[in-house]
Structure 1
Amino acid sequence: MEQAFAQNLMQAAQAVEQQVDDELNRLEKLTESDIEKMRNQRLETMKQEHKKRQEWLANEKLTESDIEKMRNQRLETMKQEHKKRQEWLANGHGEYEDLPSEKELFDITKKSERIVCHFYRESTMRCKIVDKHLEALARKHIEAKFVKLSVDRAPFITERLNIKTLPTIALLIDNIVKDKIIGFTDLGNHDDFSTDVLEWRLGVGGVIDYKGDLSSPPDNNERKKKITVFGKKPKTIRNGMGGDDDDDDNDAED
């Protein structure tokens, strides 16, 4: 019995000794870079643990009154968001509307802070491509009013905004034309661009609440583009609905 116990004890000691030898061998093979990496990982772990502890301590100090105040603030925010949403829906947001004349566009600017207006001509095929994408985005982004206006029914605005290429999408914020998407150049310069790319471009213009990465279009993430629109930054049209400082000289499509 004693001999068996001694043998088991010896085997256990040898196993521990082997583990120690293995660990020593592993440590001997570590480079300075490996050691530095391990040190940094441990330091980062300690930082995260400290952060969690501080958050826990902060929460522990909250009184019932503090929690109730936070709850009421959140509830008020939700009420305001719901009220704003109802106002948008009452003003026709959530739909893609074809305006009968340019007068209606002026009326809409008095009710809606953010407007996406597609200037089109029925005979221009690329305008129909834009229609398909804007119909989908109008339902998704009710924070903006999506409309279309035929250039044949809007001679005054077409001239004042210097619209020469169709399709042109004007992005209005607080009755000011902040940006324009002229043709498909900003959308990859081809007809089969995705709705996501147009959504991103509207987000760059600030006319919708875009949740993605504004620094790069979703179809071109590998290019790692900075906040430019395929080579050019979005423009602000200083004179708003009353004029345009863009001197683009492209001919309008028939």
Structure 2
Amino acid sequence: MGWGGRNWDSLVREAAEAVAHAPQVMRNRVPRNSSVRPGALGVGKNLPTAPRPFRKMEGNGSIDMFSEVLENQFLQAAKLVESHLDSELQKLDQIGEDELELLKEKRLAALRKAQQQKQEWLSKGHGEYREVASERDFFQEVKESEKVVCHFYRDTTFRCKILDRHLATLAKKHLETKFLKLNVEKAPFLCERLRIKVIPTLALLRDGKTQDYVVGFTDLGNTDDFTTETLEWRLGCSDVINYSGNLMEPPFQSQKKFGTNFTKLEKKTIRGKKYDSDSDDD
């Protein structure tokens, strides 16, 4: 659009080529036995080739010629950029008041919808990491929300406290997901039904169904010092939060270093048998 078939990169490239070939240009500009001084020749004219080698020009003539070539190239580029911006501004000027009003209304409607959704989530207990007192409360909480992360914990397991800290942070960040914790001593039926054998375990649910589990810290780098970002990535892999990062690149430095070959898991309702033989992580 108004760039004469060239863009900024091509113009900069032309300027660089002009500098690189400046000695050759100057050889071609001064014929043998010519009485015309080099500084009097115009840029871009067809000149005879001089058979003798290029000789240094008097004073700063060579430097001045380089500067002239660069100045012309970048001046042309600046003019084209200015022309492009003028064209875009002209487009904005041509938008009618009705169109602007329509765009404004769409934007306001989107903001109102987002605010309503936020208030709905908050009214259902999203935005904070909470403990549910019983199995009945758990089922009610899960029924109300599309996405739920529930931490099955035990007071005597110190790694549960590590998870508590990270989950409290993520609950405030990801309002779209409800974050809960449930003491396994108060939920024997639920632990049997969900086959919870390792403490801590995170149950990841969508639409009332268990999608996946995070068992212990294996998927978190197999270390107690994993970051909140690592847990966030793992939850994003199961699509129980709106994750904006790259799911193919775990935040921890090296999967081999931590002894895990975890990759994004397929959605599933119950946990695979590989976890059934694990023991408590007290």
Superposition TM-score, scaled by structure 1 size: 0.72
Kindly state the Cα deviation for residue 54 of structure 1 after the two structures are TM-superposed: 7.7
Kindly state the Cα deviation for residue 218 of structure 1 after the two structures are TM-superposed: 2.5
Match of 2:279 among 226, 251, 254: 251
Runs of 5+ unmatched residues, structure 2: 1-36, 41-57, 68-77
Q: CA separation in 2, counterparts of 1:167 and 1:50? A: 62
Identity %: 41
Change (3 A) 1:67 1:195: same
1:173 is aligned to 2:206: yes
In structure 2, the residue matched to 1:199 is: 232
Give yes or no for contact 1:180–1:235 (8 Å, CA) kept in 2: no
In structure 1, the residue matched to 2:13 is: none
Give yes or no for contact 2:126–2:171 (8 Å, CA) kept in 1: yes
1:127 is aligned to 2:160: yes
In structure 2, the residue matched to 1:236 is: 267
1:215 is aligned to 2:248: yes
Change (3 A) 1:164 1:54: farther
Match for 1:253: what amino acid?
D
Q: CA separation in 1, counterparts of 2:147 and 2:177? A: 5
Q: Which moved more, 1:201-210 or 1:187-196?
A: 201-210
Give yes or no for contact 2:247–2:264 (8 Å, CA) kept in 1: no
Give yes or no for contact 1:171–1:205 (8 Å, CA) kept in 2: yes
Change (3 A) 1:203 1:153: same
Runs of 5+ unmatched residues, structure 1: 1-9, 24-44
Give yes or no for contact 1:102–1:157 (8 Å, CA) kept in 2: yes
| 1:105 partner SS | helix
Give yes or no for contact 1:188–1:230 (8 Å, CA) kept in 2: no
| 2:222 partner SS | coil
Q: CA separation in 1, counterparts of 2:147 and 2:237? A: 13
Indicate the structure with greater helix content.
1
Match for 1:19: what amino acid?
I
Structure-to-structure mapping, 1:83-232, within 5 angstroms: 83-220=116-253, 223=254, 230-232=261-263
Superposition TM-score, scaled by structure 2 size: 0.66
Give yes or no for contact 2:202–2:213 (8 Å, CA) kept in 1: yes
Change (3 A) 1:113 1:123: same
Kindly state the Cα deviation for residue 156 of structure 1 after the two structures are TM-superposed: 2.1
Kindly state the Cα deviation for residue 194 of structure 1 after the two structures are TM-superposed: 1.2
Kindly state the Cα deviation for residue 111 of structure 1 after the two structures are TM-superposed: 1.3
Give yes or no for contact 1:172–1:207 (8 Å, CA) kept in 2: yes
Give yes or no for contact 2:212–2:271 (8 Å, CA) kept in 1: no
Kindly state the Cα deviation for residue 173 of structure 1 after the two structures are TM-superposed: 1.5
Change (3 A) 1:50 1:105: farther
Give yes or no for contact 1:98–1:148 (8 Å, CA) kept in 2: yes
Give yes or no for contact 2:238–2:267 (8 Å, CA) kept in 1: no
Cα shift readout 1:217-252 (whole Å, capped 9, x = no counterpart): 2332xx599xxx8433324223xxxx5454422123
Change (3 A) 1:62 1:196: same
**Cα RMSD after superposing both structures:** 3.5
Q: CA separation in 2, counterparts of 1:50 and 1:117? A: 57
Change (3 A) 1:87 1:250: same
Change (3 A) 1:77 1:198: same
